[in-house]
Structure 1
Amino acid sequence: MATLNYRTIDIDALDPDSPHNFPLPTLLPSSLPPPASSSTAAGTAAQVRQLLRSGDSEGALRHALDTAPLGGDERAKEVHLATVIEVLQGIRQGEMSRVLEGVCGGGVEGGAERGDCLMKYLYKGMATHSTSSSSSSGNGTLSPSKKSSLSPQSTGFTQVQARNFGEGGGGQQMSVLLSWHEKLVDITGIGSIVRVMTDRRTV
């Protein structure tokens, strides 16, 4: 009689709460916007830049958060992340609180949703920075071939990427994101952090 090797049993297949037996896409809300393409995100970026040039930083941030591609592909999300970071870096530190109150304040219609969306982008920007830093640092030395492979990729945001994701610009980006995070928590409270951690709609 053959003995059963219990280490080879797929426990997840027997667990009714396992993702194998529970379709995770059903957790997404039915109000999820239709998938956005990278060309749509690039068009949004052009509109946001136009608002920035006209001096309407509050309107630029509001438009960037309202058009976040929650249902978009990864390429569209990367392009939109660069757009949001460009907006955040284009706003002076003294104007952060005023802009956040106008975009994410409690008395503003849709302010709480925009605050949560901005929190998602802040965390994603921090994660992108830490990932690029860890891959570029390594053991502290890089071969010439590795250094050349770390140059920013062309995404339509050449100036932003060279400033943020290139060598020497990551510290500045992290400083900007942390400053916005501090101001945003002052306005929305820590509840926004909890909602972002549990929301399956990613940016």
Structure 2
Amino acid sequence: MSIIQQHTAASLSDAWRTINIDALEEDSSVNFDTSTLHPALPEVSEADVRQINIQVRQLLRGGDAEGALRGSLEMPVYNGSDLAKEAHLHTVIEVLQSIKASEMTPMLQRIYGTPGGSECLDVLMKYLYKGMAATSAADGNSSAPRTPTRMTPQQTGFSQVGGRPGGANESTGGAMSVLLSWHEKVVEVAGLGCIGRCMTDWRKV
């Protein structure tokens, strides 16, 4: 009989365990529900997103761009359908594009200096990265819908992607430029820690 043991794929797998030793470890994840580590998030419906969009548009028409920006950031869609998340992304981008470059830093500083302002800028950073990802995907696939440069309301209440007046053939470079400008200003006001918190937060927009 050969002293060389013949190994098979089965013998090299985890089948050699005769007992589940993880169950004997008090700190093992099998002994508690890991979902309890994350608190439940309120579900945001499509109707809620439509209502937020209406309120934000009213603030923009009234000339309160700062209130519109803060209002769109205080109600991020963490727990909602893909359609609701996409619609709210369009709302945030619409607000960002309505604000002049000279107003970015002073506005961010005022928001950052108020209670909950740091959280608002963290949320803004999440939407900036989400918008950049959507823009890059649209730029790499000409058949994909492009990141909105301007939006007009539909009868359904949701916003519809549309081109700037006289700029139907505008490339996604303009939209990316706006997002990058805001990214620079957010880092300038909130620091690099804003990026770290955005990347490590399990709550995704």
TM-score range, shorter chain: 0.7 to 0.9
Residues 97-123 of structure 1: per-residue CA shift (max 9 Å, x gap): 1211122x2x31001100100000000
Contact 1:65 1:118 in 2 (8 A): yes
2:43 to 32, 35, 47: 35
CA distance in 2, matches of 1:168, 1:7: 60
CA distance in 2, matches of 1:18, 1:134: 43
Tell me the secondary structure at the aligned position of residue 29 of structure 1: coil
Alignment of 1:7-156 (within 5 A): 9=13, 25-30=35-40, 32=41, 34-103=42-111, 105=112, 107-136=113-142, 150=145, 156=158
Shift in alpha-carbon separation, 1:152–1:200, aligned structure 2, 3 A: closer
2:198 to 177, 183, 196: 196
* Shift of residue 49, structure 1, vs aligned partner: 0.4
Shift in alpha-carbon separation, 1:18–1:94, aligned structure 2, 3 A: farther
Shift in alpha-carbon separation, 1:151–1:61, aligned structure 2, 3 A: closer
Contact 2:147 2:175 in 1 (8 A): no
Contact 1:122 1:181 in 2 (8 A): yes
Residues 117-170 of structure 1: per-residue CA shift (max 9 Å, x gap): 00000000001111111122xxxxxxxxxx5x7589988322xx2238x85341
Contact 1:119 1:192 in 2 (8 A): yes
* Shift of residue 8, structure 1, vs aligned partner: 8.2
* Shift of residue 15, structure 1, vs aligned partner: 11
- Does residue 176 of structure 2 align to residue 171 of structure 1? no
Match in the other structure for 2:151: none
Which amino acid is the alignment partner of residue 28 of structure 1? H
Q: Root-mean-square deviation (CA), in Å?
A: 3.4
Give the structure with the larger helix fraction: 1
Tell me the secondary structure at the aligned position of residue 141 of structure 2: helix
Q: What 5-or-longer segments of structure 1 have no aligned partner? A: 137-146
Contact 2:135 2:146 in 1 (8 A): no
Residues 40-99 of structure 1: per-residue CA shift (max 9 Å, x gap): 101100100000000000000010001111222221111100000000000011110121
Which amino acid is the alignment partner of residue 137 of structure 2? T
Contact 1:163 1:169 in 2 (8 A): no
* Shift of residue 171, structure 1, vs aligned partner: 1.1
Moved more, 87-96 or 72-81: 72-81
Contact 2:125 2:194 in 1 (8 A): yes
Tell me the secondary structure at the aligned position of residue 43 of structure 1: helix
Match in the other structure for 1:4: 8
CA distance in 2, matches of 1:15, 1:94: 61
Which TM-score applies when normalising by structure 1? 0.77
Moved more, 44-53 or 126-135: 126-135
Match in the other structure for 1:141: none
- Mark the structure with the bigger radius of gyration: 2
Contact 2:134 2:147 in 1 (8 A): no
CA distance in 2, matches of 1:151, 1:123: 15
